[in-house]
A and B are shown apart, each in its own frame.
Chain A
């Protein structure tokens, strides 16, 4: 039978030790006793007991001294002090020193029973709390930040490096590459993870609305401001603010942002009170900010303050190796959501997707798989289920950009799409069948089993 917990009893009187040992053993606790505080300390160093019951007065080290030494080892240790003298100063001292509680000798069995139950209830709550925290971390981890390619491994490594710091991060990459997911990954791996991450899409809001969004406003600050509203910077206190599409912010807002980035202070629109907020800034853009700085559209000083640590997210066409794992991730996501029994993606469809250029990046892939799951009638997703065609065949899907490599990929995609119907492919390619056979042999193309 599993024990309910472990208890260390410390008392110089043998009869007390034996009685308590017996009492707690009957309650199915794992009980160990020590006749001196010194011995108890040694036992505690070897094993962290859930609860310690220590007599106040013992020869040598006292119960209070033991309490303080145990707290040095483990600040969360639960210690109940047993005292023969029910004096308020003694009790206060024990509690001040971090004792869970104290109890006077002789002990009322009911009181002891409830006290121990209370202590173990606290231990249970602490354990549950820590389990919930870790499951919470699991829950909010952006699990669709998928990738095994060298590009993505580098991105993961950069996230791990920068997350625990307070450094301002700029995430760059084409639309749909997962910039917000990276921002979230940085946030949940930082010490700010139990505080909010507040996202503002700067490109989607007009200048006046963006300022109100970022800094908040007082009641009556402008027409329609019927009540005071907190801004995103205020909401992100102790957490992270993620400013997406930072390249589209107007010059006026840029100058406001510069001040906030420097001072971490601001006032609400229409207000006078200076508000302080402790936030970390993560920005994202798909613009060429350096060009915009040269053009004078983006403030250089703001650029340098925001571009402290940069993470580049590669477009999907540059990491075709990640396409199978991403495609299967989305397949699982949508089959679960739609309760469909589709377990596979055919090798032809995978090869086809790996040869596609994905201008919309991961977002486009996600949408393609969602559509495929909707229309697929079989247990496996095939090329015909995908909303992409050979016309969108990629010219930049690998590092090898030679004409021969391009021809090989094009013929391979054509064969896959037409289920290796040589006559049809030759007709579509406007070459004769013999030429096509020769090219198949030249490029070592094989029909999938």
Chain B
């Protein structure tokens, strides 16, 4: 694994979190991580009925705009995302592919308790970023509860799981070609 990771914030107001993600990715993956600007209009994929944004359509738009980019493309949004069958998603990724998306909306502690906890928010964000990129690197959900690739469909499960890959998953990430 040596290709860069491109971070595309879409309407993110918190620049601090973007910088943190970039630094963490460079440190953990030892690859260049850069912030790119993609002209994607979130409102086009908004469901008025649900008040949420259709993540698969956002990825589809990103695919069209990033064919020239090398490496992975990670979309970051503040809005709540969905796909029709599910009530919400923390993120979505192409398995063994190039694109992924992480929504920060439900990673804020305010969403659940009304209280701000920036450390918890950053920790959750990095877990979801590693998780979705892990899918891009071909990883399936891991049965090790302490692995960041462990499936999490509720925020408690995000908090319980570990912050990084287990030995086996890390080996696959390191050996990932392209």
Interface residues of B in 63-104 (CB under 8 A from A): 82-89, 95
Contact (Cβ within 8 A) B140 A26: yes
Q: Is the interface of A mostly helix, strand, loop or mixed?
A: helix
Q: Which residues of A contact B140 (CB under 8 A)?
A: 1, 25-28
A105 contacts the other chain (CB 8 A): yes
Q: Which residues of B contact A110 (CB under 8 A)?
A: 153-154, 157
B151 contacts the other chain (CB 8 A): yes
Contact (Cβ within 8 A) B151 A112: no
Q: Which residues of B contact A105 (CB under 8 A)?
A: 84-85
Give min CB distance, B20 to chain A, whole Å. 26
Picked from B87, B141, B157, the residue with its CB within 8 Å of the CB of A28 is B141
Q: Which residues of B contact A108 (CB under 8 A)?
A: 86-87, 153
Contact A106 B82, CB 8 Å, known A22-B95, A25-B140, A27-B141: yes
Q: Which residue of A lies closest to B84 (CB)?
A: A15
Picked from B56, B95, B154, the residue with its CB within 8 Å of the CB of A25 is B95
Contact A26 B85, CB 8 Å, known A112-B153, A113-B151: no
Q: How far is the CA of A27 from the CA of B151 in the complex (A)?
A: 7
Q: Which residues of A contact B151 (CB under 8 A)?
A: 26-27, 113
How many residues from A make CB contacts under 8 Å with B? 20
Contact (Cβ within 8 A) B87 A107: yes
B135 contacts the other chain (CB 8 A): yes
Contact (Cβ within 8 A) A106 B86: yes
Contact (Cβ within 8 A) B83 A26: no
- Residues of B in contact with A, size category: 10 to 19
Q: Which residues of B contact A22 (CB under 8 A)?
A: 95
Q: How far is the CA of A108 from the CA of B84 in the complex (A)?
A: 11
Contact (Cβ within 8 A) B141 A109: no
Q: Which residue of B lies closest to A22 (CB)?
A: B95
Q: How far is the CA of A378 from the CA of B151 in the complex (A)?
A: 61
Write out, one digit per residue, whether chain A residues 1-32 have a CB within 8 A of any chain B CB (1) or not (0).
10000000000010110011011011110000
Give min CB distance, A58 to chain B, whole Å. 15
Q: How far is the CA of A108 from the CA of B153 in the complex (A)?
A: 8
Interface residues of B in 112-169 (CB under 8 A from A): 135, 140-141, 151, 153-154, 157
Contact (Cβ within 8 A) B141 A26: yes
Q: How far is the CA of A74 from the CA of B50 in the complex (A)?
A: 39
Q: Which residue of A lies closest to B54 (CB)?
A: A15
Contact A109 B84, CB 8 Å, known A27-B140, A27-B141: no
Give min CB distance, B145 to chain A, whole Å. 13
Contact (Cβ within 8 A) A20 B141: no
Q: How far is the CA of A22 from the CA of B151 in the complex (A)?
A: 13
Picked from A25, A26, A27, A107, the residue with its CB within 8 Å of the CB of B86 is A107
Q: How far is the CA of A415 from the CA of B95 in the complex (A)?
A: 81
Residues of B whose CB lies within 8 Å of any CB of A are 50, 56, 82-89, 95, 135, 140-141, 151, 153-154, 157
Q: Could you jot down 11 A-B contacts, CB within 8 Å?
A: A1-B140, A16-B84, A19-B83, A19-B84, A25-B140, A108-B86, A109-B89, A109-B153, A109-B154, A110-B153, A113-B153
